[in-house]
């Protein structure tokens, strides 16, 4: 799995590519999230449109990201999950916990409310 973190104003964007299997870069991603939060950026859009597969460790990474942002009064929005990942989010009932939108533009709109 590869990922890219970028900032635009008060929003951090995390883009995942490949299989979201948290064992590999999970700690590294969480460290980047901690750095972001220490800079008082508490809005996050996680683009998983290029994620083909996600396992329990990958779900753990998403939940950890959400928890860290919400503990600081922020929010995380999941952007454009594939049908496979969307089904997994429904099965695990994470679709109730996460805000899920189809585009980055929608994520920006939601986070800037």
Contacts for 82-88: CB closer than 8 Å, 24+ residues apart: 82/48, 82/49, 82/51, 82/52, 84/52, 84/53, 85/48, 85/51, 85/53, 85/54, 88/54, 88/59
Residue 22 pLDDT greater than 80, yes or no: no
Mean pLDDT to the nearest integer, 49-76: 93
Average pLDDT for residues 51-74, to the nearest whole number? 93
- In sequence order, the 6+-apart residues with CB closer than 8 A to the CB of 73 are 42
* pLDDT for residue 38 is more than 90: yes
pLDDT digits (tens, 9 = 90+) for 39-54: 999 999 999 999 988 8
Domain regions of the chain by residue span: 2-111
Average pLDDT in the 53-62 region? 90
Average pLDDT, the chain: 92
Decide which of 3.30.750.24, 3.40.50.300, 2.130.10.10, 3.40.50.620 is the CATH code for 2-111: 3.30.750.24
The predicted structure's pLDDT at residue 113:
86
């Amino acid at each position: 799995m590869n990922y890219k973190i970028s900032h635009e104003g008060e929003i951090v964007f995390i883009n995942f590519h490949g299989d979201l299997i948290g064992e590999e870069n999970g700690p590294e991603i969480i460290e980047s999230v901690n750095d972001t939060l220490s800079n008082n950026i508490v809005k996050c859009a996680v683009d998983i449109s290029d994620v083909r597969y996600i396992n329990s460790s990958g779900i753990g990474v998403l939940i950890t990201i959400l928890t860290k942002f919400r503990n600081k009064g922020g929010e995380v929005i999941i952007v454009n999950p594939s049908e496979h990942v969307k089904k997994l989010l429904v099965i695990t009932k994470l679709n109730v916990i996460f805000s899920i939108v189809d585009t980055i533009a929608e994520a920006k709109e939601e986070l800037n409310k």
